[in-house]
Structure 1
């Protein structure tokens, strides 16, 4: 199983976009897009899921499922079960807040 958040995190770790993931997995971009907007566990047919998982595995991504321990000691992404996720506030592109210190203006 893989969640939409794991897919996005895997792409971020690899530094690839949806088009590149689609190419790696032999899938269409709309399929990747549909998978990534799923609420939790990605819904798709078995062949599509197997292609995606194989492509991520070949690219060096190890999925850490809920309750599993990462035995290889490599990098990974895990969201704690009790995480309180809030949308990030958009800051003005004119200034960046650095605390403590003055505002930096480009």
Structure 2
């Protein structure tokens, strides 16, 4: 499942992978994206959210150093920016 808004390409799986790569929990991501922890949990469980909410999650993860890789035939993914 891929949720798209104008600039968001974030999938629930990418969100989980990004958090794991950064070593942050749901609470920390929620705080950085200025959404509730329940919102992050619902998104990662596959519930559809408003585009602006997905964009906020994606922006927070990108600001923390995540690069999102769009579907390229092998599936979407994540990468951490070099320090």
- TM-score band by shorter chain is 0.7 to 0.9
- Greater relative contact order structure (CA < 8 Å, 6+ sep): 2
Q: TM-score, normalised by structure 1?
A: 0.58
Instruction: Let me know the Cα RMSD of the aligned residues.
Output: 2.0
Deviation at 1:49, TM superposition (A): 1.4
Deviation at 1:43, TM superposition (A): 2.0
- Bigger radius of gyration: 1
Please give the alpha-carbon distance, in whole angstroms, between the structure 1 residues aligned to 2:40 and 2:31: 10
Runs (5+) with no aligned partner, structure 2: 1-8
Which structure dedicates a bigger proportion of its chain to helix? Answer: 2
Q: TM-score, normalised by structure 2?
A: 0.73
Please give the alpha-carbon distance, in whole angstroms, between the structure 2 residues aligned to 1:7 and 1:45: 15
How many residues of Structure 1 are paired with residues of Structure 2 in the alignment?
68
* Equivalent position to 1:37, from 45, 53, 59: 45
Match of 1:76 in 2: 79
Runs of 4+ in 1 over 4 A off after TM superposition: none
Runs (5+) with no aligned partner, structure 1: 69-74, 78-106
Please give the alpha-carbon distance, in whole angstroms, between the structure 2 residues aligned to 1:32 and 1:2: 12
